[in-house]
Amino acid sequence: MSTERSDTLPGYSATAPSQRAQNRLRLAVLDRDPGFMQVLSKRLEALGCEYRPLSAPLSADALVTMRLNALVLDLAVLGPTGWGYLEQICARLPGLAVVVCTGPSSVAQRVRGLRLGADAWITKPCHAEELICVIEAAVRRHRRAEMPILDAAQSFGEITIRPDLYQAYVNEVSLELTAREFEILNLLTGSDRVLRREEIYERIWGYAMAHGDRSVDVFVRKLRQKLRAGSPQWNYIHTHFGVGYRFAPERENSVEEELDLITGGTAATPLESPTPMASPAPPESPAQLDAAARLDSALAG
């Protein structure tokens, strides 16, 4: 059937741009067993988790400010007040994954804990790896439900990248990038170093680049064209002969540059790509209509 175009590229969906901070687990562990804590913390840190050991219960508000993904607690630490605490936390922080990890217990106790809102109940002694898997399962399930938050907009030179809209702008005017153009731009802006064509291709298309494939070059050309149309005085994508491309916003001082060159000033290629600028609109930036018109003609002509 025609619907079975299964060979289509998974490329689009594959590039989740905002993986960094999102997938990092932030969790707190309320326990008093030093050995357990040590083993666990070692493993968690190896995984790159943000890990916070607790020896006493924190208020719900305190937990809120910690922006946790998960809380592991040993009910034994709290004694009889533990049930109330568990219930309170689960009710107050419905988005928090709560895993009870405690010593031997009865079925009734486990049922009670789960009914109060715990997401899982692990009996100590347990293997750290298993506990972590259980935590991850709970967090995973929770994350799936919440709307993924994409990266905030970033500005480079005169352009602004908006991952939430799959688009780049100059002075609030869209550059009209296609999906693939945007992905390449987004990839380039996300890395300060030179990216080889094969690297770009593999990360955008999802599979290895065939020898002699010029697709990346063509897309870079289109990108440059649109960037130039919207922001003519800047140079964004630099070619590294025989290697690949590198993103770095650089102003083309049409006159000053020549002067510099004559004078011997080495302003030619400052390696330093400044950190993303906060304000994308320098005073001398062209009016919206100008930018739009340039873009129009560039695309039409």
Partner DNA sequence: TTTGCGCGTAAAGATCTTGTGACCCGGCGC
Partner DNA sequence: GCGCCGGGTCACAAGATCTTTACGCGCAAA
Closest alpha carbon to 234 in 254, 250, 256, 223: 250
SS3 232: coil
Determine how β-strand 154-156 pairs with β-strand 159-162: antiparallel
**From its own copies, DNA, none, interface partner of 141 (C-beta below 5 to 8 A by class):** its own copies
- Select the binding partner of residue 103 from DNA, its own copies, none (C-beta < 5 to 8 A, by kind): none
Q: Does 64 bind its own copies (CB under 8 A)?
A: no
- Looking at the Cβ atoms of 224 and 238, the one nearer to its own copies is 238
Cα distance between residue 268 and residue 238, in whole Å = 13
Binding of its own copies at residue 60 (CB under 8 A)? no
The answer to whether 115 contacts its own copies (rule: CB under 8 A) is yes
Distance of closest approach, residue 105 Cβ to its own copies, in angstroms? 10
Judge contact between 157 and 249, C-beta under 8 A.
yes
Subset of 216-275 contacting its own copies (CB under 8 A):
240-243, 246, 264-266, 268-272
Q: Which of residues 233-292 bind DNA (CB under 7 A)?
A: 239-244
- To the nearest 10 degrees (0 to 180), the angle between helices 215-230 and 179-189 is 80
**Per-position b or e across 194-214, b if 16+ CB within 10 A of its CB:** bbbbebbbebbbeeebeeeee
Verify cis geometry, omega within 30 degrees of 0, for the bond prior to 163. Answer: no
Q: Minimum distance between the CB of residue 226 and DNA, rounded to whole angstroms?
A: 11
Among DNA, its own copies, none, residue 219 binds (CB under 5-8 Å by kind): DNA
Note whether 301 binds its own copies by CB under 8 A.
no
Nearer to its own copies, 12 or 84 (CB): 12
- One-character DSSP codes across 104-149: S--HHHHHHHHHTT-SEEEESS--HHHHHHHHHHHHHHHHHHSPPP
Which one, 174 or 233, has the nearer CB to its own copies?
174
Least Å distance, CB 19 to DNA, is 11
CA pair distance 46, 41, nearest whole angstrom: 8
**Cα 157 to the center of its chain, rounded Å:** 21
129 binds, among its own copies, DNA, none (CB under 5 to 8 A by kind): its own copies
The residue among 51 and 246 lying less far from its own copies, judged by its C-beta, is 246
Which 151-210 positions form the footprint of DNA (CB under 7 A)? 176, 178-181, 197, 205, 210
How many residues belong to the site for its own copies (CB under 8 A)? 78
Cα–Cα dist 233/171, whole Å: 14
Chain residues 3-62 in contact with DNA, contact rule CB under 7 A: 3, 5, 7-9, 11-13, 15
Beta-carbon contacts of 226 under 8 Å, excluding residues fewer than 6 positions away, are 175, 176, 177, 181, 295, 298, 299
* Binding footprint of DNA on the chain (CB under 7 A): 1-3, 5, 7-9, 11-13, 15, 176, 178-181, 197, 205, 210, 213-215, 217-221, 224-225, 239-244
